[in-house]
Amino acid sequence: MEKHSDDKQTKLAFSDINLVRQLFGERNNNLKKIADATGVTISARGNTVFIHGDRVANKLAQNILKQLYSLLKNKYPVYPNDIDYAVRVLSEDDSIDLKSIFLDTVYITSKKSTITPKSPAQKEYIDAIRNYDIVFGIGPAGTGKTYLAMAMAVSALSKGLVSRIVLTRPAVEAGETLGFLPGDIAEKVDPYLRPLYDALHDMMRFERASKLLQQGVIEVAPIAFMRGRTLNDSFIILDEAQNTTAEQMKMFLTRIGFNSKAVITGDITQIDLPADKPSGLIQTKNILQEIEGIKFVFFSKTDVVRHKLVREIISAYEDMDAEKSG
Number of Cβ within 10 Å of residue 129's Cβ equals 26
pLDDT tens, position by position, 12-26: 999 999 999 999 999
Number of Cβ within 10 Å of residue 269's Cβ equals 14
| Whether the predicted pLDDT of 177 surpasses 50 | no
> What's the average model confidence in pLDDT over 69-93?
91
- Give the C-alpha distances (Å, rounded to integers) separating 54 from 3, 10, 84, 221, 303: 9, 11, 21, 55, 27
Reported as a pLDDT band with limits 50, 70 and 90, residue 192 is low
* The amino acid at 77: P
| Whether the predicted pLDDT of 190 surpasses 70 | no
What's the rounded Cα separation, in Å, for the pair 90 and 94? 5
The pTM score is 0.82
Reported as a pLDDT band with limits 50, 70 and 90, residue 185 is very low
| Whether the predicted pLDDT of 6 surpasses 70 | no
| Whether the predicted pLDDT of 318 surpasses 80 | no
Q: Give me the chain's average pLDDT, please.
A: 87
| Whether the predicted pLDDT of 176 surpasses 50 | no
| Whether the predicted pLDDT of 28 surpasses 70 | yes
pLDDT tens, position by position, 250-274: 999 999 999 999 999 999 988 888 8
- Give the C-alpha distances (Å, rounded to integers) separating 228 from 42, 166, 225, 254: 62, 15, 8, 10
| Whether the predicted pLDDT of 187 surpasses 60 | no
- Looking at the chain, the whole-number percentage of residues with pLDDT higher than 70 is 90
What's the rounded Cα separation, in Å, for the pair 106 and 271? 29
Number of Cβ within 10 Å of residue 108's Cβ equals 15
Query: Residue 77 has what DSSP assignment?
Result: P
- Res 142: pLDDT: 86
| Whether the predicted pLDDT of 322 surpasses 80 | no
Rounded to a whole number of angstroms, the CA Rg of the chain reads 23
The DSSP bridge pattern shows strands 48-54 and 41-45 to be antiparallel
The DSSP bridge pattern shows strands 7-13 and 48-54 to be antiparallel
Please tell me which of 5-19, 56-70, 265-279, 297-311 the model is most confident about, judged by mean pLDDT: 56-70
Reported as a pLDDT band with limits 50, 70 and 90, residue 198 is confident
- Res 252: pLDDT: 95
- Res 197: pLDDT: 84
> What's the average model confidence in pLDDT over 2-7?
55
- Looking at the chain, the whole-number percentage of residues with pLDDT higher than 90 is 62
What's the rounded Cα separation, in Å, for the pair 113 and 188? 33
